[in-house]
Amino acid sequence: MKTTTLIKSTLCIISLSFSLSAFGGGSGGGSTGDDLPLPDTCTSNCGYELGPNPSLSFVSAAQGPQPVSTVSVSSSVDGFGGGTIYYPSNISQEMAAISIAPGFTNTQSAIAWWGPLLASHGFVVITIDTNSRFDQPDSRSRQLDSALSYLISQSDSSSSSISGLVDENRLATMGFSMGGGGSLQSASRNRLSAAVPLAPWNSGSNSFNQIAVPTMIMACENDSTANVSSHASPFYNTIPTSTDKAFMEISGGQHNCANGSNSNNALLATYGVSWMKRFLDKDHRYNQFLCGPNHESNSRISEFRDTCDFT
């Protein structure tokens, strides 16, 4: 999404000319979300921990300890519009997998920063292009799930660069703007182990009150496109308090403040990496960055909420 005016005018065209379901940019086959494997139920001492004992400088760095390789995914793939896979090139064991979707009118380049960052901390990551740049959150959610199914299928293929590298029971979605709304919708199907929506935008009815997936919402204080009071904040409040969840509002941030490749990179890395490590790798060493600190003592954070201590 670029501006509020663009979104409003486009949605007006949609309401006059098409139904949202027709315009939604077809999920194009692939996963329906309900056919993703069920998440691992292990919560501690699961044997998934990767990497050294973390410090604040470690989690806030521009890159983690692992070298990263990439694979391009053709736009002809079933279920989403292609993308790029990032994976640690020196790890041979199964790892958790993350799919990341861009926002309205964006391509994967808008969220590409997250791919190598998360992969360098021991995850298999795919940043996707959507079937249409105008796809709505529901379509983006299905495409995020399809991308996870694609990673699983590639891991099951002996000829793939990521053969044997994906743990199908530890999956997560992330997305910016309408991609963030898609990440929340994907989480509501409860086939994930974690979700991180970035400045999420979503309209109409939703099932966010059914989310049992550990979810961290990153919002932007001065967001005029996905206004915090009508998007990120009520989305967070709708998620049950029994669910492990957190809400971080970036001080003074405009809509793209949670997207990476900006002055907030260290902050985004700290919480994005820590959330994924804590809930995908079940690594309790990362609790120290999520529960306990006075988050708002950081001038870059205008508001922080959570349901600590996490299970």
Name the DSSP class of 62.
S
pLDDT, mean of residues 17-29? 36
Share of the chain above pLDDT 70, in %: 89
Mapped onto helix, strand or coil, the DSSP state of residue 66 is: coil
Cα 29 to Cα 249: distance, rounded to the nearest angstrom: 35
CATH number of the domain bearing residue 299: 3.40.50.1820
Asked if 226 contacts 246 with a C-beta cutoff of 8 angstroms, the reply is no
Say if 114 falls within a structural domain.
yes
Say if 88 falls within a structural domain.
yes
Say if 274 falls within a structural domain.
yes
Share of the chain above pLDDT 90, in %: 86
Q: How many domains does the chain have?
A: 1
Which pLDDT belongs to residue 31? 56
Does the pTM surpass 0.95? The reply is no
Say if residue 3's pLDDT is above 90. Answer: no
Say if 40 falls within a structural domain.
no
Which residue type is seen at 251? S
> Domain range spanning residue 123?
55-306
Which pLDDT belongs to residue 32? 60
Asked if 126 contacts 30 with a C-beta cutoff of 8 angstroms, the reply is no
Say if residue 15's pLDDT is above 70. Answer: no
Ranges 11-15, 60-64, 226-230, 231-235: which has the least confidence: 11-15
Which pLDDT belongs to residue 27? 37
Q: Would you please indicate which residues are annotated as catalytic (active-site) residues?
A: 177, 223, 255
Say if 22 falls within a structural domain.
no
Mean pLDDT over each residue of the chain, to the nearest integer: 91
Ranges 21-35, 58-72, 197-211: which has the least confidence: 21-35
